[in-house]
Amino acid sequence: MNDPSPALDPRIEDTFAEAFGMKYTRLIVTAVDAAWARVAATEFCGYGTSVIGCDAETGIERAVSETGTPDGRPGLAILAFGFSKQALGQAVANRAGQCLMTCPTTAVFNGLETEQRIPLGRHLRFFGDGFQKSKLLGERRFWRVPVMDGEFVIEEELGVASGIGGGNLIVQTRDQATGLQAASAAVAALADLPGCITPFPGGIARSGSKVGSRYDNQVASTAENFCPTLRGRVASQLHDQAAAAYEIVIDAIDESTVRQSMHGAIHAALASPVGDDILAISAGNYGGKLGKFLIRLHEVAIDSICTSDADQT
């Protein structure tokens, strides 16, 4: 097997991922057991892949044990990202009302202590139709909303902070099966890394996009330069032998975590059982004209935590 060290691997292209500043919040969802907590979190995260078409980008960050939750029950931490505090607040409240309050046995708590806040239980308490009750523990207010299996406990507010969306890698291979295996290995390597999510299905996107379209009503359209069936008709950015390309998009709480995530994903893909069959690892960008953070693959491949700031426009 080839040396999987990405610091020396010529298949890592000299390009950059263009990422954007976003607002994010963290929810802690608990339930009677880990299975029901995952059901609730999975429902909450549905239709949460890209703010191009979704109200938020969402994903399960990590499991939280009974010793780490406010009510001593098993839970999951969820990260949700949006372009503004207001839009994020609306999306999270809607999703919590439809997907968490309705799920058997759940409770919802704030997982991010910051000065900036968005309302959560303050909105959803009204479902109690006047029968809801509040409880103050220290400086934290909780609402108890009567439901048919007892009470739905939800914290009044969530913390909000500035994060980063759109870190990415594009894994190129000769066929779909190889590409999926390599990309899946990259995503799996990030499962236990706090502070990041991969919001697309299974952490992988096959429909890379660009800003704009030839159609006036489209804000985004297919990234034709990475479509293998269009090779010869467009200025392809694919390896000559690539018949499949899969993108791994990463949202994270800060720039350091994005870089660490990209580093881990590159290593994992190249060290996977199909690592030798990867033709190229690239990234999507817009020429540095839109995103604030330009994260260079050669830089993150060498070191998981870069001390220098990303190039900024």
Q: Which of 194, 201, 203, 210 has the alpha carbon at shortest distance from 169?
A: 203
| Sole residue written with tokens 């880990």 | 34
Give residue limits of the domains in the chain. Answer: 23-161, 164-302
Topology match between the domains 23-161 and 164-302: yes
- Fold classified for 23-161: Alpha-Beta Plaits (3.30.70)
CA 42-191-259 angle, to 5 degrees, is 120
What pTM does this model have?
Answer: 0.93
What pLDDT is stored for residue 7 in this prediction?
46
At 261-270, the pLDDT tens digits run 999 999 999 9
- 17 or 286: which carries more pLDDT confidence? 17
Q: Which of 285, 292, 286 has the alpha carbon at shortest distance from 313?
A: 292
Q: Tell me, what amino acid is at 312?
A: Q
What is the average pLDDT value for the chain, to the nearest integer?
A: 94
Half-sphere exposure (Cβ direction) of 1: Cα atoms closer than 13 Å = 12
- Kindly indicate the confidence band of residue 8, based on its pLDDT and cuts at 50, 70 and 90: low
The verdict on domain 164-302 having CATH code 3.40.190.10 is no
> What token pair was written down for 293?
């953070």
At 144-194, the pLDDT tens digits run 999 999 999 999 999 999 999 999 999 999 999 999 999 999 999 999 899
Angstrom distance (rounded) from CA 197 to CA 148: 33
Chain center to CA of 305:
19
